[in-house]
C-alpha cells in the first residue's frame, strides 16, 4: 500500500478562519444548553447541516467536527439509504463544552454557521459564524512552511507579522514546542511580530478579531552579513500571550 500524502498541507499559502483547511480550526464555546443547527458551506455554497445537542446530561466536553469527513459522510447519507441510523447527523456536547470545527483533508474552504433550534433553559440565543468570529471564539493554526507571514483582520484593521523559523533534522525527532497563545488586544498594542517554529501551533483568542486571514509572504529573508540585520527589520518583538504556561501535550 502506498499512502497518499496530504499535499494541501504543504502547498497552501493562505489561511482563513472563514474558509477552514487542514492546517487551521475554529472553536466555539457552547455556554448554553439547547439544540443547535450547524450549516456547513464550502466556498460560499451550502453543503449540509447537522445538529449539536448541548446538555448537562452529555459527558463530552469537546466535540471535534471534521467538516471534510462529514461532507463526504452526510452528503452520501442524504443521497442514499445509508445505515447511519436516525441520529447520524446529531452530535452531543456537555453544557459549557467546546465545539471545534476543522477540515482534515482536501483543499478545504469550509465555513460553519450555528443557529439555535431550541433553548431549554437559556436566556439568550447563541449564534456562531466562522466567517465572523466573536469574543470567546478561538482560531488555531499550524504553520508548516518556514518564512514570513502576515496575519490580518481587515474589518478591525489589525495586522501582525509572523515569522516561522525553519527546523533542521537533528539527532532526535523534532517535537514542536507548546502552542503560542495570543489575542488581538496584545497584538494591537505592541504591533508585535509573532515568532514560531515550524509545526508549532498558534491559537488566537478572537477578542477584537472577526475574520482572521494569514498569508504566506516570503521565505525567510537572508541576514545581511555586514550588518547582521535582515533586509526588512521586524516589528518590535512583543509577543503577547494570554495562556502560555501549564500546557500539557
Partner 1 sequence: MSHFTVASSEAAVSKLFEGVRDGFSVDESDSVNFGPFTAGYDVGFHLEGGTVDLQNNGDILIKELDIKWDKLRVFAGIDIPELCIGGFCIIPSPWGCVLRAPRICVFDDNPDLGIDLDLSGLLTSEISIAAKPKLSYFIDPARPAGMSWLDAEDANVANKWQLFIDPDWVDIDVFDWADIVGDLLDDAINTAVDDLLWFLPGWAKSLIHAILGPVVDLVRAILDIGDDIDEWLSNLLGVSLGLFDLIITLVADYFAGKTPLLSIEDPFPIMPYKNGLIPVKLPIEQLGITINDKEMVLAATLGASL
CB half-sphere exposure, 182, CA atoms < 13 A:
27
Residue count of the chain = 249
Q: Which three cell numbers stand for residue 237?
A: 518583538
Distance CA 46, CA 77 (A): 16
Determine if 165 is a binding residue for partner 1 (CB under 8 A).
Answer: no
User: Do residues 112 and 42 lie in contact, with contact meaning Cβ atoms separated by under 8 Å?
Assistant: no
Distance CA 180, CA 221 (A): 22
Of positions 58, 73, 115, 145, contacts partner 1 by CB under 8 A:
145
Least Å distance between CB 44 and partner 1? 23
Of positions 14, 57, 61, 121, contacts partner 1 by CB under 8 A:
61
The SS3 of residue 234 is coil
Determine if 102 is a binding residue for partner 1 (CB under 8 A).
Answer: yes
Determine if 63 is a binding residue for partner 1 (CB under 8 A).
Answer: no
Q: Which residues of 17-48 are buried (b: 16+ CB within 10 A; e: fewer)?
A: bbbbbbbbbbbbebebbbebebebbbeeeebb
Least Å distance between CB 118 and partner 1? 25
Determine if 146 is a binding residue for partner 1 (CB under 8 A).
Answer: yes
Of positions 45, 86, 169, 222, contacts partner 1 by CB under 8 A:
169
Q: Which three cell numbers stand for residue 36?
A: 443547535
Determine if 6 is a binding residue for partner 1 (CB under 8 A).
Answer: yes
Determine if 59 is a binding residue for partner 1 (CB under 8 A).
Answer: no
Nearest Cα to Cα of residue 29 among 128, 113, 109, 132: 128
Residue 93's φ and ψ, nearest 5 degrees, are -150, 145
Q: Which three cell numbers stand for residue 161?
A: 507579522
Stretch 226-245 residues interacting with partner 1 (CB under 8 A): 243
Of positions 15, 25, 50, 110, contacts partner 1 by CB under 8 A:
25
Of positions 57, 87, 166, 237, contacts partner 1 by CB under 8 A:
166
Determine if 170 is a binding residue for partner 1 (CB under 8 A).
Answer: yes
Least Å distance between CB 236 and partner 1? 27
Residue ranges in contact with partner 1 by CB under 8 A: 1-7, 9-10, 22-23, 25, 27, 61-62, 64, 66, 98, 100, 102, 104-105, 138, 140, 142, 144-146, 166-174, 176, 178-179, 198-199, 201, 203, 243, 246-249
Amino acid at each position: 500500500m502506498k499512502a497518499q500524502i496530504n499535499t494541501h498541507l504543504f502547498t497552501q499559502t493562505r489561511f482563513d478562519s472563514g474558509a477552514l483547511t487542514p492546517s487551521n480550526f475554529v472553536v466555539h464555546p457552547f455556554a448554553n444548553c439547547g439544540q443547535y443547527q450547524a450549516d456547513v458551506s464550502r466556498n460560499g455554497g451550502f453543503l449540509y447541516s447537522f445538529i449539536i445537542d448541548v446538555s448537562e446530561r452529555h459527558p463530552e466536553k469537546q466535540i471535534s467536527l471534521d467538516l471534510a469527513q462529514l461532507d463526504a459522510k452526510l452528503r452520501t447519507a442524504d443521497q442514499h439509504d445509508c445505515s447511519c441510523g436516525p441520529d447520524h447527523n446529531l452530535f452531543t456536547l456537555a453544557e459549557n463544552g467546546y465545539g471545534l470545527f476543522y477540515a482534515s483533508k482536501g483543499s478545504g474552504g469550509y465555513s460553519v454557521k450555528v443557529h439555535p433550534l431550541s433553548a431549554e433553559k437559556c436566556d439568550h440565543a447563541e449564534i456562531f459564524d466562522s466567517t465572523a468570529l466573536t469574543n470567546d471564539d478561538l482560531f488555531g493554526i499550524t504553520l508548516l512552511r518556514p518564512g514570513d507571514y502576515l496575519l490580518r483582520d481587515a474589518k478591525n484593521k489589525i495586522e501582525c507579522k509572523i515569522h516561522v523559523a525553519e527546523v533542521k533534522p537533528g539527532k532526535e525527532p523534532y517535537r514542536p514546542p507548546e502552542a503560542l497563545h495570543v489575542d488581538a488586544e496584545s497584538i494591537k498594542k505592541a504591533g508585535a511580530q509573532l515568532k514560531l517554529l515550524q509545526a508549532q501551533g498558534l491559537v488566537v483568542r478572537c477578542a477584537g478579531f472577526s475574520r482572521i486571514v494569514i498569508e504566506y509572504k516570503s521565505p525567510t529573508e537572508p541576514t545581511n552579513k555586514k550588518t547582521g540585520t535582515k533586509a526588512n527589520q521586524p516589528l518590535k518583538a512583543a509577543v503577547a500571550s494570554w495562556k502560555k504556561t501549564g500546557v500539557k501535550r
